[in-house]
Every structure is written in structure tokens, then in C-alpha cells.
Amino acid sequence: MSASPISIRVNDAQHTISCDPKTPLLYILRNDLALNGPKFGCGLGECGACAVLIDGRAVRSCVVPVTAVKNRSVTTLEGLGNSTSPHPVQQAFIDENAAQCGYCLNGMIMTVVSLALHQPDAGEAEIKNALAHNLCRCGTHKEILAAAKRALFLANSAALHGSLDSARESGFEPSHVKTDRGERNA
């Protein structure tokens, strides 16, 4: 297949890429846009290391052809926060020391952000279910679960007790992450 120009929106910025339309989104993010938050693990949609948000939902970018996100909003780990201003979910993982080798963290964090956006009242069973297919080979599951619970507690508090503004201030409604909760979109 010959290369053709494709326009995609990533972390609030528009990019035009020339590539085979079947190229996995993960390859474009890492190789063309130098966004290395999403990791290559299995390349088969099995491990979760490559997760990104597409319109606010965690999706495995290794099995999504780049053309599938033409009119969608993609958010990578880099679009959440940074070392000086981490997203609340990133901060929860820091607070719970939920990292060992760190390779799975991108997928864990993106999955928890997706859960916080769409199901902030999720309990332990739902958290475990959401993370069940995100693989961690270091055995950091206890800390990851604690981090997810901490993040969900914050997200739930923002949703229950806060206004739209306080939810945004808490980082759970970043304006560039579209949600399906229309009343919460600006």
C-alpha cells in the first residue's frame, strides 16, 4: 500500500503524517511523533502497554490502524501531565509507589484515567476487572490497585461533591479529553 497523508489530532495538536493507512497508531505515535509514553509490548492487543485514550476511552494503539483515528481525539500519557504537574492519576501512582520496572505503567495509568472519567464510583471488583488484561511482570499489583483506588476516590469526590470546575481542577475532566457525558463538556 502506498503512503498517503493522514491528519490526526494528538494531545490537542493536529499532525499530518504520510504513511500506509494500515500502520498501527502506536508506530505513528512513537516513531513519527516521538511520543514514547505508550509502549510496545506484545503488538497483539494482549498486554495493554500501548494504551492511549481515544475520545476519552482507553484503547490499545498497537491494534488500531492510524486511519481509524482520523476524526477522533487521541491522548497519550504525555497529554495528561508531566513531572512538575502530574495528572491526579499519575500522582496517585507516585504516592503509592506503584512502579517497579515501569513498563506497564502507561497502560495502567491510561486505563485508570478512562475508568475515572467514565466510572468514578467503581469499586475494587470493577477496578480489578478493568485492569485484568493489563500485564505487569514485576508483581506490583498490590501497589497498582492501591493507586487505582486512590485515583478513583479523588475522581469520585470530584464527581460527587464538586462542580464541573472543581472536577476540572482535579484533572478528571481535561478539556482535551472528550467524554460521552455531554453535560460535562465545555
Contact characters 126-165, ligand FES, x per CB under 6 A = ----------------------------------------
Please identify which residue in 37, 41, 120, 174 interacts with ligand FES, judged by CB under 6 A.
41
Q: Of 48 and 88, which CB lies nearer to ligand FES in the complex structure?
A: 48
CB 45 to ligand FES: min, Å: 5
Q: Stretches 40-48, 81-89, 163-171, 176-184: which one binds ligand FES (CB under 6 A)?
A: 40-48
Q: Are 75 and 11 in contact (CB under 8 A)?
A: yes
105-118 helix and 124-131 helix, angle to the nearest 10 degrees: 130
29 binds ligand FES (CB under 6 A): no
Q: Is 183 exposed, middle or buried (0-12, 13-18, 19+ CB in 10 A)?
A: exposed
Q: All 3 cell numbers of residue 61?
A: 494503539
The yes or no reply on residue 60 touching ligand FES (CB under 6 A) is: yes
Q: Which of 21, 33, 45, 168 binds ligand FES (CB under 6 A)?
A: 45
Which three three-digit cell numbers place residue 144? 497498582
Helix intervals (H) in 96-140: 105-118, 124-131
Instruction: Answer yes or no whether residue 48 interacts with ligand FES by CB under 6 A.
Output: yes
Residues 160-169, buried b or exposed e (16+ Cβ, 10 A)?
A: eebeeeebbe
Could you tell me where the beta strands, DSSP code E, fall in the chain? Answer: 4-10, 13-19, 51-54, 57-60, 73-75
Is residue 50 within the footprint of ligand FES (CB under 6 A)? Answer: yes
65 in contact with ligand FES (CB under 6 A): no
Please choose, out of 27-35, 39-47, 118-126, 141-149, the segment that lies near ligand FES by the rule CB under 6 A.
Answer: 39-47
Residue nearest to ligand FES (CB): 62
HSE on the CB side for 87, CA within 13 Å? Answer: 29
Residues forming contacts to ligand FES in the complex (CB under 6 A) are: 40-43, 45-50, 60, 62
